[in-house]
Chains A and B, each alone.
Chain A
Amino acid sequence: MILIDCPYCGPRNSTEFRHAGEAGRKREVTTNDPAVWRRYLYQQDNPLGWVRENWFHTTGCRQFLCAERNTQTNEIRWVAPAGSPGPDGASNNGGAR
C-alpha cells in the first residue's frame, strides 16, 4: 500500500487515485509530425529511483496532483497540486492531458 498525502484531502490509500504518468510530458501541439506524437504517446523514462509523476484523486477531490516517489521503495517525499513548482524550483509538473 502507498499512502499519498493529498494536499486537499490528507493521507489516503493509493487505491483512491489513478496514476496519470510521469510529470511534465507535453503535447507538441504546434507539430503534426507523427514521430513526435508517437514519442509523446509511447515514451516515458521509467526510472529506477526517484520519479516525478501525476496522480488523479478519483474517489476524493478529483484533482490532479504531482508527487515525487521512489520507484524502488514506493516512498513518497513530496506531493503538491499538479503544476506547482517542485522542491527544486522546476515548474514543469503538470499532467499530460
Chain B
Amino acid sequence: MSHAESVPSNKVTAGTQARRRRSRGPARYSALDIFRRGVTNSDWPRSFRQHDLAKSYDVVIIGAGVHGLACAYYLAAHHGITNVAVLDKSYMGGGGSGRNTAIIRSNYLTPEGVRFYDRSVVLYQNLAADLNYNVMFSQRGHLTLAHTDASLRTMNWRAEVNKLQGINSSVIDAAEVGRIVKYLDVSDRPRYPILGALYHPPGGIIRHDAVNWGYARAADHLGVQIHQQTEVLGIETAGGKVTGVRTNRGAISASIVVNCTAGWATTISDMVGVKMPLITHPLQAAVTEPVKVFLPSVIVSGSLHVYVSQTDRGELVFGASVDPYPSYSMRGSLEFTESVASHILELIPSIGSLKVLRQWAGLCDMTPDYSPIMGVTPVAGFLVDVGWGTYGFKAGPVSGEAMAALVATGRVPEIISAFDLARFADGRLVGEKGAASVGH
C-alpha cells in the first residue's frame, strides 16, 4: 500500500523520543498528588499544550474527537509515530465526543460488529490505568426492552450471535427485568407492555469527557500536537496521493491524512473527491435534575424510541433516535423533549415530577447499514474513520488502535476489514440497524 511507504521508518528514534518525553512528562495523577497540591496549594500542569503549526507532519488527523485523539495516542504509544498533528476547527471534544450519552456495550447483531465493539469494551476496562486518567467506566448492565414479538425475536437472534462470540448476553423475561429495575412498570397496563429484554451485564456508561481529555493528555505527553481552532479548508493531492492540507492557520505537508470528523465527514472527503454514503442527522439528548441513585442499569426501548441511564451524580440522561431529516444544525427541539418525556413515563411513571435541566444535539454521520467506515480510500494516503452515526463513542479505543496499526503498517487489521468503504459498491453490507438505531 503506497501510503505506508511514507510512514517514517526510523521507528526506533521516534520511540526513543517518545520515551524521553514521557519521562519528562507532567506529574502522574495520584491520590498522593492531590494531597500534595492540596497542602501546597500549587497549580496543576496544563493537561495538553499549545503549539505553533509546523510546516509538515508525518500524519495529520482531522477532528479532535475520541476517534482522532485515540488514533493519535495509539500511533505514538504502540508505533512510536509521534510527529502527528490532530486538527480541530472548534475545540477538542466539542463534536459528538462531548455530546453523547456515553453508552458502551458489545451486544450487536453481526459477528463482525460484536467482535469489533467487544475489543473496545476490553480496552475501556483498562483505559483509566493506561491513560492515568479516571474515566469512570461503570459496567452496570444494559437492558434492551422488547415490547413486541418481533423485537423479542431480534433479541433472541442477537443473544445467540453474542454468545457465539463469547459475550455475556441473554434474553430475560419481564419478571426478571422487574427484579433488576424496580421502578420499571412491568405490568400489562402500559400500551406497550414489556415482554422481556436482552440483558448485557458488561454494558454500561463512562465519563465521555474524561475519555477525550485522557487521550489528549496522554497523546500530548508522547509528543503529539493537538491544534484547536484549526480548520481544514482543503486537502492537496498530486498523482492520486495526498500531499498536505490547507488550514486557516496555514498549509501543512503530510502524506497521510486521516478523516475523523464524524458528522462533518463528507465535507472533508469531498475535498479529495471521495464520495461517501453518509448522511448527517442531528441526535438529541436531555438530562434531568439529579435525584438519589435508583436506576441500576442502562435501559433502552426501541419500540418507544427512548433510552435512559442515571449518572453517578444522579441525573437521568435521556436519548432517542436521530432527528428525522438531515441537518448540520445542533439546535434542540420541543418535539424531542415531548416525545422522550411521554415515552419514558410509560416505562417509569414515578419520575413524572422530575424537571429536565437541559437538552442538546450533536451530529451523526449515518451509514446505510448502521456500521462504520474505516480504512483506505481510492486516494492514497487519505484514510477514513467515519460513519459513526449514533454509536461511535464506544468504538473510540478499538478504531483508534486499528487505524494506528493501519497507518503504521499499511495493512488493514482484520478486526476492521469488514468495514471498508468498498463494501457499498460491492454489496457487502454489515447490517446493524436492528442493534443500533435507538440504543446507541
Encode B321-343 as 1/0 by CB contact (under 8 A) with A: 00011111101011100000000
Segment 11-44 of A: residues with Cβ below 8 Å from B: 14-15, 18-19, 34-35, 38-39, 41-44
CB-based contact A42/B329 at 8 Å: no
CB-based contact B279/A71 at 8 Å: no
Contacts of B325 in A (CB 8 A): 2, 14, 19
Interface residues on A, range: 20 to 34
What separation, in Å, do the CA atoms of A45 and B326 have in the docked complex?
11
Majority-rule SS of B interface residues: loop
What separation, in Å, do the CA atoms of A2 and B266 have in the docked complex?
24
Which residue of chain B lies nearest to A13 when distances are taken between CB atoms in the complex?
B335
Q: Is B131 an interface residue (CB 8 A)?
A: no
Select the residue from A14, A44, A45, A48 with max chain B CB neighbours within 10 A.
Answer: A48
On whether A38 and B425 interact (CB within 8 A), knowing A43-B277, A46-B266, the answer reads yes
Segment 63-94 of A: residues with Cβ below 8 Å from B: 71-74
Contact of A38 among B267, B324, B327, B427 (CB under 8 A): B427
CB-based contact A1/B329 at 8 Å: no
CB-based contact B425/A73 at 8 Å: no
CB-based contact B279/A44 at 8 Å: yes
CB-based contact B427/A71 at 8 Å: no
Contacts of B182 in A (CB 8 A): none
Contacts of A38 in B (CB 8 A): 424-425, 427
Which residue of chain B lies nearest to A37 when distances are taken between CB atoms in the complex?
B427
CB-based contact A71/B327 at 8 Å: yes
Encode B229-273 as 1/0 by CB contact (under 8 A) with A: 000000000000000000000000000000000001011000000
What separation, in Å, do the CA atoms of A44 and B275 have in the docked complex?
9
CB-based contact B329/A71 at 8 Å: yes
Distance (whole angstroms) from the CB of B344 to the closest CB of chain A = 19
Contacts of A1 in B (CB 8 A): 333-335
Contacts of B413 in A (CB 8 A): none
Which residue of chain B lies nearest to A42 when distances are taken between CB atoms in the complex?
B277
Distance (whole angstroms) from the CB of B280 to the closest CB of chain A = 6
What separation, in Å, do the CA atoms of A71 and B282 have in the docked complex?
11
Contacts of A72 in B (CB 8 A): 327-329
Which residue of chain B lies nearest to A41 when distances are taken between CB atoms in the complex?
B368
Q: Is B86 an interface residue (CB 8 A)?
A: no
Q: Is B278 an interface residue (CB 8 A)?
A: yes
Distance (whole angstroms) from the CB of B284 to the closest CB of chain A = 13
Contacts of B326 in A (CB 8 A): 19, 46, 51, 71
CB-based contact A15/B427 at 8 Å: no
What separation, in Å, do the CA atoms of A9 and B93 have in the docked complex?
43
On whether A35 and B266 interact (CB within 8 A), knowing A18-B324, A72-B329, the answer reads no
CB-based contact A46/B335 at 8 Å: no
CB-based contact A74/B327 at 8 Å: yes
On whether A74 and B334 interact (CB within 8 A), knowing A38-B427, A46-B278, the answer reads no
Which residue of chain B lies nearest to A44 when distances are taken between CB atoms in the complex?
B279
Distance (whole angstroms) from the CB of B54 to the closest CB of chain A = 28
What separation, in Å, do the CA atoms of A45 and B275 have in the docked complex?
8
What separation, in Å, do the CA atoms of A39 and B264 have in the docked complex?
20
Contacts of A19 in B (CB 8 A): 324-326
Contacts of A34 in B (CB 8 A): 427
Contacts of B266 in A (CB 8 A): 45-47
What separation, in Å, do the CA atoms of A44 and B326 have in the docked complex?
11
Distance (whole angstroms) from the CB of A1 to the closest CB of chain B = 6
Distance (whole angstroms) from the CB of A71 to the closest CB of chain B = 5
Segment 358-407 of B: residues with Cβ below 8 Å from A: 368
Segment 102-160 of B: residues with Cβ below 8 Å from A: none
CB-based contact B425/A35 at 8 Å: yes
CB-based contact A48/B368 at 8 Å: no
Closest 5 CB pairs of A and B: A19-B325, A42-B277, A46-B266, A42-B368, A42-B424
A42-B277, A45-B266 given; name 12 further pairs at CB < 8 Å: A18-B324, A34-B427, A35-B425, A43-B277, A44-B277, A44-B279, A46-B278, A47-B266, A48-B267, A48-B280, A71-B326, A74-B331
Interface residues, chain B, CB within 8 Å of chain A?
264, 266-267, 275, 277-280, 324-329, 331, 333-335, 368, 424-425, 427
16 sampled A-B residue pairs with Cβ under 8 A: A1-B333, A1-B334, A18-B324, A34-B427, A38-B425, A41-B368, A42-B368, A43-B275, A44-B277, A48-B280, A71-B280, A71-B326, A71-B327, A71-B329, A72-B327, A74-B329
